[in-house]
Structure 1
């Protein structure tokens, strides 16, 4: 072990380091042991003092609380068993006794025992002697004796105990401070001793290290001097051999051997140096040859780089103009051309150039079909031309100079000339080898041009397909098998317009589903359907279309989705998803379903009344007044049925555009009065007022249809005011129009129902309104009729406050005699009724005679025609089906219109056949469909005759 230490410097330093570490570790361990013992002693003593102090505090608190409770008891008495001061004091006495027993176990020192004796003595005095006696005196009512007991020593004893308690706690605090001070002083002393020990150890180690360093540095200095001498070329011979066996000794011996070896080989190196000088001359000659070869390689590398740029340029672009620019900019350096031009032979003649002016390029394009171009196409070989330079090409030179043009043809795979390359070089002619290489490059250019053609054709087809898709009224998405959107048409963008985030092309399935789902009503079903359609391999042709509701700014849309897999070479590449907006159809179907349900109810109710009262009248003997009542009910219910059927037929005619109107000049004010009078009888709970703010109430319109409009509006005002109230009709002029507004104080209309209020079959979804009933056709019919009269209808409403419907019609300004004067002149007018039903004929006769007409009845058309020559009627009421089937009302109508004396007579058809169009085509003035009110006929005849009398007056629409 000792010899190993002697022969190794490393081991010496390692042994020294380990010794230092061991000494330090031992010193530190001793310090920690002493410190831990002192800390444990301090903590134990401190803990014992804290426990006794806490116990003293609890005793102090307990005694004070008990004394306070007793004092409160003597001062205030008890207030219930639960709040008794005495009971609280006695409970506290038990707790104090328990704490004294615990403290007795902890009392080990003199001060503790003295305090315990004082506390126990006070406890016995106060709780066992004084307190029971005071309670007894107090409860007996002797409060003065209680006060005397306190003055006789009780209070003094309490103060004495509190003083001893205070002294004991102060003594404990003092001991805690002394314990802490003792621990702090000991800590400082131990730290000082440990610091002194460290200083001593560090001094000893420094001395040992210095001694070892001196033994090492001396031989190192000798070796350093020897190395410097060898480096400077001096001969070094070691005369004194070292006796050391450590690393320095080995290093010294190695230096000695190296010195002798260098000395021996110095001669050999000199000879080799001379030989190397000779070899250097030879290498310099070879270097000159290599530099020449390298220059050639650089030229070839530059050519290859330019060709690579050309290939990359023509391969990485699909824009024709960019391709031409890339070709000419890459080929010009390869060819070494001073000017270069490429031109496509297509009718567009796209071109690109370098060093060529616009004038030169245009001249070449104008002469593109010249002879040498045709020669290129026929020979299929490049063409080289030597020519004299133009003045613009000479620059500042004046003498004649030559330049060389090279024309290269570029042919397609179909052997058609696609492009021409023109290069002009001033430095020299083009060699055959160069031309051959350039033609090889032209083939690459041909491939790129064909690729551009294919790309353009593909783009045209793709744009055509996209344009076709954008004309489709269904939203279309193309989704690949990974769920990525590849295509969306314009209609699809319209469907989702207004979203903050919209799925776009190349969006993943997760992204576009996350954008769709917040707007979908049933998100889970929606996601499941699309996942199955997009990602499963099953054929989705058999899947049923999926319906979903899409929420947007414009409202809720109902969308039907169709799926169709897309295959390419029997391999599925994606799915075509078609979104069809069926909101309109959905709402119409929904409204029609509600309409069928409503109409069924509306039809059954009056039919049940008609059948029921008819059965009663058939099978029972009834009094006349009862019969009249039943007949009245049957009549009213029949009118309801007729109105319902007429509404339905009106809607059907309006939908197919076959609704006809017989427009005549008519005064709306009397018409409104008649409607109000009828409603007043039927609705006694309501009050009706008509306020007329203008004298001009004449309009051009169909009286029956306008009556239907205002009848519906006033009837609605009554129906939707179920509790009665005022219905106000106001007539006034507004912007050369007659405005008629109908106001009620009823239920009102919700704001969300305003837009759909005039839709067919629409009814406000509200329990109160559903109970009122109706088909949902009235307002739709009103809107169509008003529109046909070139008018408008509007509504304003406040829920719970009523509604106002306003109809605006073009106003007709009248000048001349008034209606009453003209009607008075009609008294005694002849009217002929041609009717095969005598009962109806007499009913109509009675009605017309009440209106002061003179009436003639006929049942045969031919006979009626003869009577007209004698009677000369001013109006004819004609039935189509007469008693002679061979001569119908149509025949009579045609005959009358063919005769000069009879064709001006107004003819009013009264028939059960609904052939109004035919009647008006043959010249009838009006067409009444049975059954109808007889009073309507008389008013219609008066109106027509009045209009005829007004032909000589001025009737003009308001501008």
Structure 2
């Protein structure tokens, strides 16, 4: 047990030093202080020492050898990564450090923590087993002598009873001797020498007395030895109890240490995640008091020279927010000037001795607080009552936890400053908004009408001085265009093309100088920069009694120009993207036609031609998809499908063609949605393609399916370039591509995400994304969960015309039948396979349905079902009745649309009531021989055939094995 306790202590010490290495490494990355490098080396050396001792001790045990090998290997791997991280830190390559931490360091630290947790748990279980075994051995040693003593007493008791029963003298003279023998006295009888029974009895009694006396002596000796053994066992038992109490104290100490570690861990969790400084101080310092078992804590912050404010206090009888000016003395002043922790023990007096007056001493610990520039900002005072001389271990622990608090406090103060600045900016924005609102309320009616126009208006005099502008003009042109400025700003604007400025200058100068006869003829197009395009009109206001006033009207043509530019850009992109693969195809075909090429190169050229042909086809498909979506002609065929199968199929294709690893994470249960399979596959291919293209520095793409608020969500996560914040709002726009140096070499049309959004929303889903620049992106596509419904006891209507489906269902619902409508054969088959117990009452199936499967596929699936094959079926169609020799049209009543509701209800109830456990088929023909021959030819046995005035009823027998296998293979 002592060996196991030592091993557990060394294992926990190794775990503590490893975590200290991790904490110091993260602190060094965060603040760049060199003392953390010294801490890393110190804790690393201690970790290796403890682990080496553990490995040496475990090698002696036959069952323990090798259990720390994995831990040693993982530790070396982590320290190698740590050296890499320190090198990157020296080179100030924080992006690579973040990537290294996410992909390797953090998972490795979690693995090592789990390894430590497993080993500690194992050692504790072994210690518990040894304690239980010790208790059992002590119990056995206690009871063994007691049982032996009881057996000896029982033996003596039974022996005496035997003597009493057997020694009965028939002779009167021997009665007294026998009585003395019974009383424990051994007096021999005198030998009379008689040869009769009395003599033999005397001889026998004497012999018996002699034997009893010897046995009594032996028994006394045996009892004496038992008594000595009992005393020895009692002493041994007391020693065992003492050892057990010592071990119990050791276990209590370990339990206390574990509780302390849990408290410290809880304290570390209270250092982050707070929005306000007061909440942070209350939680963090309260947890610090609990972790260190303190009685009081006080945080003093400097607000000016020699003036300090009590920012937080707990356990002291002083008011909060106390201001101390020139009142620091003793240790408080020393800790500010010496800039190092100070510990002071002092005697207590007065009310500080406690309610019961039980405290004699108090230990005060002063710790300096630095700001982010390593200047003294204040100090933290920790007090423990009743402690005269704290141990060095408790002081080291306190210093480590206080340092963690200081680091978190500096970060929290910075966050608090940013939060207050944001609040002040928000207040200023609100004030600005109110001022704008007041200015707007002061405008007159004319002003509001003019400002509501889409065109910008400027009025100026003959000198060009502007006397009036409306609100849109500042949005269209510039804030510099205002009352009092000059119209010459327009043709002096350097953002306007020089030739256009020249034309504007000449035209405006002529118009204002009175040299133009008709101002309505003055119209000019111009652009400001590359983002704004305008059309300008000029007129005089003489007819409106506004002498020497000229009206300029500016109409924004930016959207029109953007549409023209988008059209031209589309044509340019299409021609460029199509020309690139086409040039490759033509070039390699020309080489193959005009040159002799080696077989290996020929295959390579053909593969290139094939790949470029696929690329060309994909581009054409993308442009056609875009054209269909913009024209509103994109059709979706939603059918129930399991997302796992679709996603797994897409992932398998990428696993075989790309260098990136596609890691999937799917739920165990089916993930049913209703959507277009081909479109969902296209969406996933587009998103995975983007994830691969825009993560050139990573080799991992995660494909996950997860539930969220009643939906199934597909996540495609990469660890690549990420998306800049300024590009996120435009990411789903057509032809938009992020323009920076990291992405210029990555090809594409900028249509992929726009098509993804259109398709997902067209199927009733939603697409979103989350991204951090330099860390990667996660695109999420969500669809509503498709709920399966059992069809037992229902009338099933499979009809893709919603109006006609409701028309079919109405008469049956009036007769209190439960009707369930579906629009695809895939959905109907899925519900049918989900159904257990009773079969459907009746199935009314249309032949032509949306989706790949037709109504005949559902009828075939129903006929081949083990339990539901006897369900009657009515087949309806807008088509003409098919040829009776076509085998797929032999599984139900065929009604050609349009048909009457009364006829449908009559036929349906007749099939329900006449169901006799065998498949029922109704055909609207009269040739019995042709019907029978056709059914038997397709493996369907005809049990009975009856002809009515408008159809033939056929009771079907079993389906032959060959035909059944053919039907099942179709599904």
- With the length of structure 2 as denominator, give the TM-score of the two structures: 0.34
Q: Which has the higher contact order (CA 8 A, sep 6+)?
A: 1
Larger Rg over CA atoms: 1
Higher helix fraction (1 or 2): 1
